[in-house]
Structure 1
Amino acid sequence: MSEKKIKVLIWDLDNTVWDGVLLEDKSVTLRAGVADVIKELDRRGILQSIASKNAHDDAMEKLKEFGLDQYFIYPQINWSSKAESVGIITQSINVGIDTIAFIDDQPFEREEVAFTHKEVLCLEETELDKLLDRDEFMPRFVTSDSKNRRAMYQSDITRNKLEEDFTGPTEEFLATLNLEMTITPATDDDLQRAEELTQRTHQLNTTGYTYTYDELRKFIESDEHDLLIASLNDKYGTYGKIGVCLIERNQTYWNVKLLLMSCRVMSRGVGTIMINHIISEASKAGVTLRAEFIQTDRNRMMFITYRLGNFEILKQEDNRYVLENDCTNVAKLPPYISLNVIKGKSKQECEVESEMA
């Protein structure tokens, strides 16, 4: 199977989504099978957008007529180059360009996108019939978060627009969201999403390690490991399960083997909150805290987060670091968020601690 997995499919419209050219004929008809492809990709958690040279309002009205307008986020329907539109969509969704696919009936448009964005998978419209069977469009698991991914991104668009219009410090805006973060030991029900996060998350990932479902299951059964899952909600709904942390424990220190957070929550400060929670727990246990970090071309932000969290460099070999925190300085929870911590490795052992600012 192909290791490349597509996170976003960007559609052309004329003679791709529908048969005909909208500017020439307002009665274009939906291409056979397109609706089924769009809805199935959405169910699998693959986001979709549009790069089309068209009149924006007319094209969106036609998509609405076909009952498909809600499936596309950050649509670029204008007279700009398709390569420029692909770049804007990629930046807006905040994913790697190597996770983008683009489908268009025009060879020139595909060649222009391929020349500008060499890692984009460019497809002809004739490949639509077999698209759902391609490995790149077949995630290993379809989780509840996958099925809700588009809705969560659409909620993000609402939040981001409100934040752009907000005048005042960022923390004052965050306080209006009623943010609530939950940290809980992973259960069997979480492992598919945890594997998905290790595969999909690159920017806010401290090591780049990926783990399979079976590997993660061994960690939750181990007495020497803690596998934690973080989720986030606010008044606009859920962000879903947005973070994973793997801790290896011994008598003198704990070692953070992996810490990752979804890029969608980068501006919410949840990575720092998770780190401070682990520091607090290590302090209560009377141990120091170490963390592995492997530098990549995308994850510098996580190294900065560790360093701002009072982690010192204990050892460095090329791009590999071991960091250490003596756990003598535990930061307070930011005033804009509440934190629920669920402890215990089984449902019977779980207890809830709530911390309000």
Structure 2
Amino acid sequence: MSVMFGYPLDSKYILKKRKQLKRQLLEKIDTETGLYKKIAILGGSTTHDVKDMLELFLLDAGIVPDFYESEYDQYWQDVMFDNQELIDFQPDVIYIHTSTRNIKSFPKVTDSNEMITDLLEETFQHYVQIWDKIGEKYKCPIIQNNFEPPFYRLLGNLDFTDIHGRRNFINHLNERFVQYAAGHENFYINDIEYMAASYGLERWADGFAWHMYKYACAVEAIPELAYNLANIMKSLYGKKQKALVLDLDNTLWGGVVGDDGANGIEIGQETSMGQLYSEFQTYIKEHKDMGVLLAINSKNDEENAIAGLSRPDTVLRPDDFLVIKANWENKDVNILEIAQELNIGTDSLVFVDDNPVERDRVSQQVLDVKVPAMTDPAQYIRIIDRSGYFEPTGLSAEDAKRTIMYRENVARKKAQASFADYTEYLQSLEMKAEIAPFAPVYMSRIAQLTNKSNQFNLTTKRCTQSDMEHYAANKEYITLYGKLEDKFGDNGVVSVVFGHNDKEDTSLFHIDLWLMSCRVLKRDMEVAMMDELVSKCLEKGIKVIMGYYYPTVKNGMVKEFYRQQGFEKVSEDEQGNTVWKLCTEPYIKRNKVIEVRETDG
């Protein structure tokens, strides 16, 4: 099904077959692993088709949405006048679907500069009012459209530079939106300015669709808009990919290195095709810079592959890749090994190959790998870029050094092989941990972890940054993050735990979420976290800690986690959900290999 919803979209087919496609997608949803989210769409135009298209793209990603739709052009009133239906809905995300059609007043050629400046501020504040109100009342992520260019230019080219021009006015308004986004967490822009330009402004700004049906864009452009919007929501809830697995011949360069030799492949500035592949390699390398992991999966002799990547005019070098599988094994087998070596799920991989036979085999054998249709080298960048596989909601220092962290993990595995005693190996790592209540500096990473960690996530609870900020500020909650470093490098924030006091019995504590990044499994970080959690509970006079495990297809490895931490099983239902209990006294600390630093967070 994902092929149907991959880029480029067949918008006419998706619009026509929406009901059938929805039924098929719902049949695929695993009720245990499906992510259920409430999405409020507040529209300045007709939003029914936007909702339908958004639903399909989210279902395809395993997100099951429940929608609230405002009445036509009631987006401002619903928020500012506290629509009870919206309040009762308790949205997880609010999307404000406005467009240039919703700008009430534009500058007139007779207006003074002062009048236009006042108009700009008044228009901007109209939106600030609802954003601030949503932040205060609903404390959930906000996704706001920016503004597409006007569909006519009264002043021609001067419309862009003169303060009286509509184009100029919209540009300044979009810049104010950018400034607001920079100063507010949980606020995201759905960039319809780019979407309209990419789609074609004259086609996007369909006057008939607006005046007849009050659609903000052409009907056939709605799937494109919803797809772009879905990429933001998927990223918010950790449904994005982590790694690019790339073929070599006619994918990263022109020609076949085994036949043509390293000197005969097309790469570099000497030919137009060479320039095309160099541009694509530059685009791929930029992904590495923002934290995407790179691997090679090529039917080649490794010696030839390395020779091609070592040419002086290639952008990508052998050390840009964490794994290089250049052999004659079937590529689906290599894909599985790459996922295992990187210690990530196959659903985190994007396989890029020019050969349709190879793409088809991988798609058939490894169902959850993303496999874009790479046919024309001139379109490689466009296809990957518009697919939104790696859409970030923000950039962190940890994202930028992710490749380094994974490379350090490879070094740790090699070091482990030289020790007969595992405890001695852990001690040799010289691990140091920082374990403390949630801190603003790490809040983005903490939220990111809740939406990424699947293997070591006992309750599969997913949280936004605003959720985490709420828990951190609530005195009834205990929150802890764990940051781990060793002699090979800094792993960053790798563990998150929080829970709350029982309302009726304050000596009782419930763990709402316990998770850890898979890259530090079996390093005793969970033991250090448990020691600190019990200490925090003792400080609050808590006598009993209750833990909960909800099984999924991915977290079976932690089924017995609480037993291993000294908990006693209280109950288990038919679905395998278990409840566990630990008395805080007596409790003997068990961490022997990690030095925990004192910090107030």
Question: AA paired with 2:298?
Answer: S
1:121-165 deviations in Å (ceiling 9; x for gaps): 11233452221232222122222111111000001111111212x
Q: Is the 8 Å Cα contact of residues 177 and 234 (structure 1) preserved in structure 2? A: yes
Aligned to 2:563: 307
Q: Do structure 1's residue 320 and structure 2's residue 567 form an aligned pair?
A: no
User: Once the 2 structures are TM-superposed, how far is the Cα of residue 242 of structure 1 from its aligned partner?
Assistant: 0.6
Query: Does 239-248 or 27-36 show the bigger shift?
Result: 27-36
User: Once the 2 structures are TM-superposed, how far is the Cα of residue 67 of structure 1 from its aligned partner?
Assistant: 4.4
Q: What is the aligned counterpart of 1:77 among 310, 326, 331?
A: 326
Q: Do structure 1's residue 149 and structure 2's residue 409 form an aligned pair?
A: no
Relative to its length, the structure with more strand (as a share) is 1
Aligned to 1:18: 253
| CA distance, structure 2, for counterparts of residue 331 and residue 37 of structure 1 | 52
Question: AA paired with 1:168?
Answer: A
| CA distance, structure 2, for counterparts of residue 341 and residue 225 of structure 1 | 20
| CA distance, structure 2, for counterparts of residue 182 and residue 329 of structure 1 | 25
Aligned to 1:177: 429
1:217-255 deviations in Å (ceiling 9; x for gaps): 111221222322111111111111111111213521121
Question: AA paired with 1:255?
Answer: H
Aligned to 1:213: 465
Q: Do structure 1's residue 281 and structure 2's residue 516 form an aligned pair?
A: no
| CA distance, structure 2, for counterparts of residue 236 and residue 198 of structure 1 | 25
Q: Report the 3-state secondary structure (helix = DSSP H, G, I; strand = E; otherwise coil) of the residue aligned with 2:463.
A: coil
Aligned to 2:413: 160
User: Once the 2 structures are TM-superposed, how far is the Cα of residue 268 of structure 1 from its aligned partner?
Assistant: 0.5
User: Once the 2 structures are TM-superposed, how far is the Cα of residue 262 of structure 1 from its aligned partner?
Assistant: 0.5
| CA distance, structure 2, for counterparts of residue 342 and residue 290 of structure 1 | 26
| CA distance, structure 2, for counterparts of residue 226 and residue 110 of structure 1 | 48
Q: What pairs with 1:235-254 in structure 2 (closer than 5 Å)?
A: 235-250=487-502, 251-254=506-509
User: Once the 2 structures are TM-superposed, how far is the Cα of residue 342 of structure 1 from its aligned partner?
Assistant: 2.2
1:294/1:333 CA distance change after superposition, 3 Å: same
Aligned to 2:203: none
- Aligned pair count? 343
Query: Does 7-16 or 18-27 show the bigger shift?
Result: 18-27
Query: Does 88-97 or 247-256 show the bigger shift?
Result: 247-256
Q: What is the aligned counterpart of 1:29 among 266, 271, 276?
A: 266
Aligned to 2:287: 41
Q: What is the aligned counterpart of 1:190 among 442, 455, 461?
A: 442
Q: Is the 8 Å Cα contact of residues 37 and 132 (structure 1) preserved in structure 2? A: no
User: Once the 2 structures are TM-superposed, how far is the Cα of residue 205 of structure 1 from its aligned partner?
Assistant: 0.6
1:154-211 deviations in Å (ceiling 9; x for gaps): 01111111212x1321111111111111102222221211121111110011111110
Q: Report the 3-state secondary structure (helix = DSSP H, G, I; strand = E; otherwise coil) of the residue aligned with 2:456.
A: coil
Q: Is the 8 Å Cα contact of residues 271 and 305 (structure 1) preserved in structure 2? A: no
Q: Do structure 1's residue 339 and structure 2's residue 596 form an aligned pair?
A: yes
Question: AA paired with 2:322?
Answer: I
Q: Is the 8 Å Cα contact of residues 525 and 594 (structure 2) preserved in structure 1? A: no
Percent of aligned positions with the same letter in both sequences?
A: 26
User: Once the 2 structures are TM-superposed, how far is the Cα of residue 19 of structure 1 from its aligned partner?
Assistant: 1.0
Q: Is the 8 Å Cα contact of residues 45 and 142 (structure 1) preserved in structure 2? A: no
User: Once the 2 structures are TM-superposed, how far is the Cα of residue 84 of structure 1 from its aligned partner?
Assistant: 0.8
Aligned to 1:56: 302
1:1-29 deviations in Å (ceiling 9; x for gaps): 14341111100000001111101222213
Aligned to 2:243: 8
| CA distance, structure 2, for counterparts of residue 281 and residue 221 of structure 1 | 16
Aligned to 1:346: none
User: Once the 2 structures are TM-superposed, how far is the Cα of residue 100 of structure 1 from its aligned partner?
Assistant: 1.3
| CA distance, structure 2, for counterparts of residue 301 and residue 269 of structure 1 | 15
TM-score, L = length of structure 1: 0.91
Question: AA paired with 2:409?
Answer: D
Relative to its length, the structure with more helix (as a share) is 2
Q: Report the 3-state secondary structure (helix = DSSP H, G, I; strand = E; otherwise coil) of the residue aligned with 1:19.
A: coil
User: Once the 2 structures are TM-superposed, how far is the Cα of residue 282 of structure 1 from its aligned partner?
Assistant: 1.9
| CA distance, structure 2, for counterparts of residue 295 and residue 121 of structure 1 | 25
| CA distance, structure 2, for counterparts of residue 298 and residue 245 of structure 1 | 19
| CA distance, structure 1, for counterparts of residue 588 and residue 294 of structure 2 | 40
User: Once the 2 structures are TM-superposed, how far is the Cα of residue 315 of structure 1 from its aligned partner?
Assistant: 3.8
Q: Structure 1 unaligned runs (5+)? A: 344-349, 351-357
Question: AA paired with 1:107?
Answer: P
Q: What is the aligned counterpart of 2:550 among 294, 297, 310?
A: 294
Q: Is the 8 Å Cα contact of residues 531 and 591 (structure 2) preserved in structure 1? A: no
Question: AA paired with 1:8?
Answer: A
Q: Cα RMSD (Å) of the superposition?
A: 1.8
Q: What is the aligned counterpart of 1:120 among 363, 369, 375?
A: 369
| CA distance, structure 1, for counterparts of residue 434 and residue 590 of structure 2 | 13
Q: Report the 3-state secondary structure (helix = DSSP H, G, I; strand = E; otherwise coil) of the residue aligned with 1:123.
A: coil
Query: Does 65-74 or 193-202 show the bigger shift?
Result: 65-74
Aligned to 1:355: none
TM-score, L = length of structure 2: 0.55
1:65-122 deviations in Å (ceiling 9; x for gaps): 3242222112111111111110100111111111211010001111111111011111
Query: Does 209-218 or 65-74 show the bigger shift?
Result: 65-74
Q: What pairs with 1:75-114 in structure 2 (closer than 5 Å)?
A: 75-114=324-363
| CA distance, structure 2, for counterparts of residue 133 and residue 330 of structure 1 | 53
Q: Report the 3-state secondary structure (helix = DSSP H, G, I; strand = E; otherwise coil) of the residue aligned with 1:5.
A: coil
1:318-351 deviations in Å (ceiling 9; x for gaps): 34333211112423343322112423xxxxxx5x
| CA distance, structure 1, for counterparts of residue 588 and residue 282 of structure 2 | 50
Q: Report the 3-state secondary structure (helix = DSSP H, G, I; strand = E; otherwise coil) of the residue aligned with 2:308.
A: helix
Aligned to 2:521: 266
| CA distance, structure 2, for counterparts of residue 198 and residue 82 of structure 1 | 32
Q: Structure 2 unaligned runs (5+)? A: 1-229, 268-276
| CA distance, structure 2, for counterparts of residue 283 and residue 228 of structure 1 | 15
| CA distance, structure 2, for counterparts of residue 22 and residue 135 of structure 1 | 30
